[in-house]
Amino acid sequence: MACAARKEPRKIGDKVAALALGALLSFPSAPAAAQDAFGGFIHNVRGGVLAHDRGAFSSNTEDGVDINLEIQFAEPEWQAWDYIFSPRPIIGGNINTVGDTSRGYAGLYWDYYPIDWLFVGGAVGGTIHDGELEESEPDRRALGSRVLFHLAVEVGVRFGETHGLSLYADHASNAGLVDDNESIEAAGIRYTFFFGGR
């Protein structure tokens, strides 16, 4: 009976993943006019495929692949924003394809180009998830609290004016603020469609 209950989220996850991947693959062929449609409001859209529960602090308890989707907005043109090195506000999510923990997140993203075609970036923010809070199931992470801190790092290359490909990893935990704090991570490859410059 437990197996039957487990299969339904997998089917739903597969459908969501297929739709997300279809949307992602349609971005490279977007017409040039789409770059002007947002009036500088959106800087870029990123998406990729991540290994779920894989990282420096993960124990590979949960399964599946995550579909990552992220929108990075143009940095606000506020003078005070320069004091924190003009990060871009972001929203995004990791959708797990087999019904394990999925997450939505928001935060700030900084990047740096040591050379024209190479970028390194990182994000800080918060995330909310649909996973387990306590150790109730042996194949699920005990994340302790519904809202967690979110950190991410990325290294990538940019080609043409509108495309990028990168290695990406993120980490979410409650930083030990509650007893259960197993944390959860993901790592993989992302594609970027740039609407704006650097």
Nearest Cα residue to 77 out of 39, 45, 115, 47: 39
Per-residue pLDDT tens digits for 88-139: 999 999 999 999 999 999 999 999 999 999 999 999 999 999 999 998 888 9
Nearest Cα residue to 94 out of 164, 158, 150: 150
In the chain the domains, ranked by start, together with CATH numbers, are: 2-29+41-194 (2.40.160.20)
Residue 35: the pLDDT is: 53
Q: Distance (Å, rounded) from C-alpha 180 to C-alpha 48? A: 29
* pLDDT > 90 in the chain, percent: 70
**Which of 17-21, 68-72, 157-161 reaches the highest mean pLDDT?**
68-72
Would the pLDDT of 45 be above 50? yes
CB atoms within 10 A of CB 143: 25
Nearest Cα residue to 96 out of 151, 45, 155, 141: 141
Residue 31: the pLDDT is: 41
Main-chain phi, psi angles of 116, to 5 degrees: -55, -40
Question: What's the rounded mean pLDDT across residues 142-165?
Answer: 96
